[in-house]
Amino acid sequence: MDTERLRPEPIDLGPLPGLLGHLLRRAHTRMLLDFTESTAEFGVTSGEFALLCLVEANPGVTLGQLATAAALDKSTLSPAMQRLTERGLVERHAVPHDRRAQALRLSPGGAALLPPLKDRIAEHETRLSQPLEASEREMLMRLLRKLNGL
């Protein structure tokens, strides 16, 4: 990112501050960039972290179930899950009576990775939430959950 020098005349953002989509884009982009920096040493992207959490909370879950839970297409999850298994963080087990499906579980390595990673992410979340009061942050998350149907 550039650090531009301050301008005498501030730019008029026009209708953008009144558009939810625009505000979400900006907020999401900022968080994603900081997430990547903050967790670089773990080598796990934001999306991969979400998958690890879901597998941890639902041992034996299948990829299709994860797709539903994460609101993503299976074709999005499949390569991500492949990286996680290749790196030895997730194990694929056979599912009785359905040889198409795969039961997903964290490996010991994956289980060991998550606690310190979660700590780092908690710091990142706190830092990025600085502009908000604690109560505002709670309210924001409540509204986003409702918007997302969660």
Partner DNA sequence: TATTGTTATACTCTATAACTATA
Partner DNA sequence: TATAGTTATAGAGTATAACAATA
Selected binder of its own copies within 42, 45, 69, 103 (CB under 8 A):
69
Do residues 140 and 132 make contact, with C-beta atoms less than 8 angstroms apart?
yes
Q: Are strands 90-94 and 102-106 parallel, antiparallel or unpaired?
A: antiparallel
Give min distance, CB of 36 to DNA, in A. Answer: 6
Give min distance, CB of 26 to DNA, in A. Answer: 7
Residue window 110-149: x/- pattern of binding to its own copies, with contact defined by CB under 8 A: --------x--x--xx--xx-xx---xx-xxx-xxxxxxx
Q: Which does 101 bind (CB under 5 to 8 A by kind): DNA, its own copies, none?
A: DNA
Sign of CA dihedral 143, 146, 148, 150: positive
Q: Residue 106: what residue type?
A: L
The angle formed by the CA atoms of residues 42, 44 and 45, to the nearest 5 degrees, is 135
Q: For residue 85, give the nearest of 51, 129, 130, 57 by alpha carbon.
A: 51
| Token pair in block for residue 66 | 């994860």
Query: 142: number of CA atoms within 13 Å, CB side?
Result: 6
Which residues within the stretch 13-52 sit at the binding site for DNA (CB under 7 A)? 25, 29, 32-33, 36, 45-48
CA distance linking residue 94 with residue 17, whole number of Å: 50
Residue 126 within binding range of DNA, rule CB under 7 A: no
Question: Which parts of this chain interact with DNA (CB under 7 A)?
Answer: 1, 4-5, 25, 29, 32-33, 36, 45-48, 62-65, 71-76, 78-82, 95, 97-102
Question: Which parts of this chain interact with its own copies (CB under 8 A)?
Answer: 1-2, 4, 7, 11-32, 35, 46, 50, 53-54, 56-58, 61, 64-69, 71-74, 118, 121, 124-125, 128-129, 131-132, 136-137, 139-141, 143-150
